[in-house]
Structure 1
């Protein structure tokens, strides 16, 4: 599929602010000129907003993002556009409390109104960490102006005593080793220095790299964008080329709604399965689909991902890191493999104006130990497994490629933690009645409950279990987990406990059955007993009284539909409002 451009020239949106000689136009244009812009820059050339999420408190979106913005500007100037850099809300998972996820929707709302309220004809979404990527795509989709994603790229490989160190993945691994007595605290601190040795996002296939891959698989970023390391010169080239491209997209009127189709989302789901991508992609893509009005559900995730083999050998599912993925050919190789197996909608449109298949059909796999042949796949059925049953009527998710195969069908006694604080208070207690056959259950960590749905679902195991050499147990919660994490972890259980879902009434000693092959999650009590418990349930957590926390808890939807705010669903467009001057 090749995009058929609209007629050009036509009056640009920005001309409502800057075109003509009226008092109001001179008001807008005259103030802009105080920055030294010549008059002819306002003559009808596209004004491109570079929405930059750079922040010194968002480490993934570090100083290199400012350098990338300059390259984007160069490309825009070269193509005859007028670039303006606009700082936007930037939420980092490793600094924001209670969790950056609580602020994804606030960031998306801020971005949406930034685009709608200012004289911008098109947008470059300059993103990096796992929340900035979906939030900026959500905001741009709500306005539906021509937009292109440029990600900041992953950091370089880490090494500790000759071993590859994956950001996040080895944090969990090393911390469990300390609890098991296999690693000293001093060694852990020594290893810390190797975890983040350059600017950029996680070097594993965590949520940041997953969402960069999702942007590319959806067609919202240029082919090859996702995997280029942050400090590689080719990342800067990609930024400059994207700057050139957005100007043409504005001239062609190529918008997110042209690209973000049902087929594009299905391509992204299949790509996520093939790369062993983060469970967080589920919640972000559901929210994005809601912004463009696409009928895209949890069932689509299961349907499209079930028969996809995980062929990218990256942590946390495999052994390599994003550097090797880039050198092997990156996401284009994966998309080509999907297309050769009739698992790709080849005619899906991309920001290039060409189809996704035209972009990837000639690429070469340079390392078959990184991007594996199908017969050597990490998991024959990767994707994201969507489990349902009386414990999760609206669904829960599990990542098979990061789970232990022997636990995918498991029946065990529930050990219940009422919330994250209860878990922290009890987990190291040697008297805790728990062994490796049990199922750890944590409540009140969903969108309303935490609030914000923090990445605490991959609960660390009790030390007395770790000392046996056990490294995995079944864990169930309404929380999320980091895309860098691993284990047999059931997440996003919906409805959540704080909303009165069945998870809220699980008790210590209840028996739970998890059957991933048959997509079942069952609390082994009678329907009558479950109904009685739910009728007797009362909320145990105080709700926020004011501020954004109140807004979030009042209006956030469930994880099964993307945990967006209910009043932000649907594309509202970007009409030029009445001039207030």
Structure 2
């Protein structure tokens, strides 16, 4: 066992003394040492209950003959960080999480890890660490939040971001806004729609790194969650004994499965950042064009919030990710013969599942759309690609041509939208918000939600080298690469330039000649860094393009 390096031999007497100081027994030190990475905190609703999950995991580890040792991981709530300077930190925190787990795991010679995340960047950060370390690991998330209820309708946090636009445009009163605030988020769990957190929890299951049910068993279903957590604790000990490692599971085929399911469920655009980043740590290359290639042959078979009215609890009732994979496998779109943390193959895991809610998960013969939920766009405005959640775009905006309204920060863009300076037909450009330029590639749920709330989502597009929340909907095109701070074409656009969007054709262009772009580029001056000290300054120097997952090199 790896942990023997800190437990066995005369030169480890001092090490054992330190274990005994914490109450470990000599017998405990003969067993596999399992790190329990608990991201519990009191600032993220999805994490407030993770101590209960960790406790159940420990029971499973003990029962299977292992010794658990818990340590923490940080986590930022994207919702609370949204719309201000704090949103520069969530994506960079992904790297901090991966690095800190690496430091703890190697420093203490754990034999295996149970990773307990729940929200946006914490899930991929932990998966990146698992792939990098390549010691037995399993993800055990906290589960999704239930949808709230208001006037007989299911609502969630995305409803509230859009409600701000309705209030600003006079569609609802301040009293109604307050009543909705009190109803939208009823308790613990990752926000109720197919936003980034739930997309990534589902992806951890589809990748084979989490047990079936991990992505969809509700957080408040304590019995089922605790049973799943005990199983995860038991499985990690068995995986250590069998020497089953993440890179045995995180193969190219596993990532193809994840992209396929992502397209089938209309997952968050952030997966186009996170899946390549996890793959990078696993030594697997995921070019952006692979997303389009898979999208073209994958039917969109669920329509969850923000693209539809169903929430994760409805997907859970249908049978969750295992039913989605089974439906997609009917069209031979899923690799069924690859391993998972259960010890069974993908196909063996879903063999006995049944679709209990065909109104939620459609068959591949009756999809909502014949092609996948996400699209990668290219053109003279995005030579290295851009991403849009096509399934959440109104049909009227799939093709759009309009004048550019240019803003050099999210704050400027939001101010113009709220002040009603944006007109129907406009293409709002928010630039210098990429990984380097932001720095940190801020997530922009505020501007998209206000546009939707003001009823402009059928008339106004929003383009950025930043990114959008999984809760965003409308013609919101992000990750435009190369980013503005690196001299990408977005930096050369001027007020009034005509932007041409053709999502079905996967095109994003500005109506300018190559000569005009070259002339503007020759005059362009790189802006001074917005942040010159601290972690973000170091991050900006090391981070790569969004088109390669915004990893650090």
User: Which bin holds the TM-score, normalised by the shorter protein?
Assistant: over 0.9
Which residue of 1 is the match for residue 145 of structure 2?
A: 155
Q: Is the 1:472–1:487 Cα contact (8 Å) retained in structure 2?
A: no
Quote the offset at 1:234 in angstroms. 0.3
1:286-365 equivalence runs, <5 A: 286-365=276-355
Pick closer, same or farther for the CA change 1:317–1:448 going to 2, 3 Å: same
Whether 2:503 is the aligned partner of 1:516: answer: yes
Which string of whole-angstrom CA distances, capped at 9 and with x for unpartnered residues, describes residues 396-420 of structure 1?
A: 0011111111211121111111111
Structure 2 residue aligned with 1:66, among 43, 51, 64?
51
Whether 2:205 is the aligned partner of 1:211: answer: no
Structure 1 residue aligned with 2:64, among 62, 73, 79?
79
Q: Tell me, in whole angstroms, the C-alpha distance in 1 between the residues paired with 2:350 and 2:527.
A: 52
Q: Is the 1:18–1:29 Cα contact (8 Å) retained in structure 2?
A: yes
Q: Is the 1:89–1:107 Cα contact (8 Å) retained in structure 2?
A: yes
Q: Tell me, in whole angstroms, the C-alpha distance in 2 between the residues paired with 1:178 and 1:331.
A: 36
Structure 1 residue aligned with 2:428, among 440, 450, 464?
440
Whether 2:146 is the aligned partner of 1:122: answer: no
1:453-492 equivalence runs, <5 A: 453-456=441-444, 459-460=447-448, 471-492=458-479
Which residue of 1 is the match for residue 6 of structure 2?
A: 17
Q: Is the 2:386–2:477 Cα contact (8 Å) retained in structure 1?
A: yes
Q: Any idea what SS the aligned residue of 1:194 has?
A: helix
Quote the offset at 1:541 in angstroms. 4.1
Which residue of 1 is the match for residue 229 of structure 2?
A: 239
Which string of whole-angstrom CA distances, capped at 9 and with x for unpartnered residues, describes residues 182-210 of structure 1?
A: 11121111101111111111111111110
Q: Is the 1:378–1:401 Cα contact (8 Å) retained in structure 2?
A: no
Q: Tell me, in whole angstroms, the C-alpha distance in 2 between the residues paired with 1:320 and 1:119.
A: 44
The root-mean-square deviation of aligned C-alpha atoms, in Å, is: 1.7
1:45-444 equivalence runs, <5 A: 45-62=31-48, 64-96=49-81, 97=86, 98-167=88-157, 169-232=158-221, 233-430=223-420, 432=421, 434-444=422-432
Pick closer, same or farther for the CA change 1:466–1:212 going to 2, 3 Å: closer
Q: Tell me, in whole angstroms, the C-alpha distance in 1 between the residues paired with 2:71 and 2:321.
A: 29
Which runs of no fewer than 5 residues in structure 1 stay unpaired? Answer: 1-11, 567-581
Q: TM-score, normalised by structure 1?
A: 0.91
Pick closer, same or farther for the CA change 1:216–1:467 going to 2, 3 Å: closer
Whether 2:540 is the aligned partner of 1:550: answer: no
Pick closer, same or farther for the CA change 1:468–1:202 going to 2, 3 Å: closer
Q: Tell me, in whole angstroms, the C-alpha distance in 1 between the residues paired with 2:397 and 2:41.
A: 41
Q: Tell me, in whole angstroms, the C-alpha distance in 2 between the residues paired with 1:526 and 1:165.
A: 46
Q: Is the 1:457–1:489 Cα contact (8 Å) retained in structure 2?
A: no
Greater displacement, 490-499 / 542-551: 542-551
Q: Tell me, in whole angstroms, the C-alpha distance in 2 between the residues paired with 1:492 and 1:470.
A: 19
Which runs of no fewer than 5 residues in structure 2 stay unpaired? Answer: none
Which residue of 2 is the match for residue 574 of structure 1?
A: none
Q: Tell me, in whole angstroms, the C-alpha distance in 2 between the residues paired with 1:472 and 1:374.
A: 31
Q: Is the 1:457–1:478 Cα contact (8 Å) retained in structure 2?
A: no
Q: TM-score, normalised by structure 2?
A: 0.96
Which string of whole-angstrom CA distances, capped at 9 and with x for unpartnered residues, describes residues 200-236 of structure 1?
A: 1111111111000100110000112110001111011
Q: Tell me, in whole angstroms, the C-alpha distance in 1 between the residues paired with 2:535 and 2:454.
A: 43
Which string of whole-angstrom CA distances, capped at 9 and with x for unpartnered residues, describes residues 464-492 of structure 1?
A: x9767765521111111111121111110
Pick closer, same or farther for the CA change 1:447–1:476 going to 2, 3 Å: same
Q: Is the 1:307–1:383 Cα contact (8 Å) retained in structure 2?
A: no
Q: Any idea what SS the aligned residue of 2:228 has?
A: helix
Q: Is the 1:458–1:486 Cα contact (8 Å) retained in structure 2?
A: no
